[in-house]
């Protein structure tokens, strides 16, 4: 994960070169909402994240950018967006990230490992689909060529996922 500010440009270059040397085609790295939007409505992608996306693209790899739906500016418990204002704020962040990075990546993952949290968020699949819709709309507005993974699970929840799919999740992502 290149979102850790402890990685220098040399670290990012060396790790990316190693990934490419080993024959991998993708690097998966978060672009956390709370790091991009530190005050309401003001966005900035940190230098190390921008450099990582630029360098990975330069050497022919693809970045899978993970957008997270957590930002304490909007009083959001981890992995949960209730109000339309919170969903709109999430969509705006996704749009900003996709716009800023469209020259470097078309690949996104949203709602990453939401079930990895012991608090049990997203028991309601419709809430998950509604949040996925907000993220999808933001990403696609910022980059019409985006390929969106609608979420990654920690472990396996096929019954849960099937209900989310029946409720329309695939209208808002290209894979899950």
Please spell the DSSP secondary structure of the chain, one letter per residue: -TTSTT--HHHHHHHHHHHHHTT--EEEEEE-HHHHEEETTEE---HHHHHHHHHHHHTT-EEEEEE----GGGTPPTT---SHHHHHHHHHHHHHHHHHHTTT--EEEESBTGGGSTT----SHHHHHHHHHHHHHHHHHH-TT-EEE--B-SS--HHHHHHHHHTTGGGS-SB-
Residue with tokens 């819709």: 133
The answer to whether residue 110 scores a pLDDT higher than 60 is yes
The answer to whether residue 117 scores a pLDDT higher than 70 is no
pLDDT-based confidence at 119, cuts 50/70/90? low
Res 158: pLDDT: 84
Q: Which two tokens stand for residue 174?
A: 């290209």
The answer to whether residue 118 scores a pLDDT higher than 70 is no
The answer to whether residue 109 scores a pLDDT higher than 70 is yes
pTM over cut 0.75: yes
At 60-95, the pLDDT tens digits run 999 999 998 888 898 766 556 778 999 999 999 999
Mean pLDDT of the chain: 89
């Amino acid at each position: 994960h290149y979102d850790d500010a402890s990685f220098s440009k040399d670290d990012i270059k060396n790790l990316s070169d190693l990934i490419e040397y080993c024959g991998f085609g993708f690097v998966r790295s978060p672009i956390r909402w709370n790091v991009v939007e530190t005050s309401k409505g003001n966005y900035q992608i940190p230098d190390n994240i921008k450099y990582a996306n630029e360098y990975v693209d330069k050497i022919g790899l693809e970045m899978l950018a993970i957008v997270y739906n957590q930002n304490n500016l909007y009083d959001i418990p981890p992995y949960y967006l209730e109000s339309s204002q919170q969903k709109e704020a999430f969509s705006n962040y996704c749009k900003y990230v996709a716009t800023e990075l469209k020259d470097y990546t078309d690949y996104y993952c949203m709602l990453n490992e939401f079930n990895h949290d012991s608090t049990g968020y997203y028991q309601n699949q419709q809430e998950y689909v509604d949040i996925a819709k907000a993220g999808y709309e933001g990403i696609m507005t910022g980059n019409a060529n985006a390929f969106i993974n609608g979420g990654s699970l920690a472990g396996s929840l096929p019954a849960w996922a099937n209900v989310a799919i029946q409720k329309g999740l695939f209208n808002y992502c290209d894979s899950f």
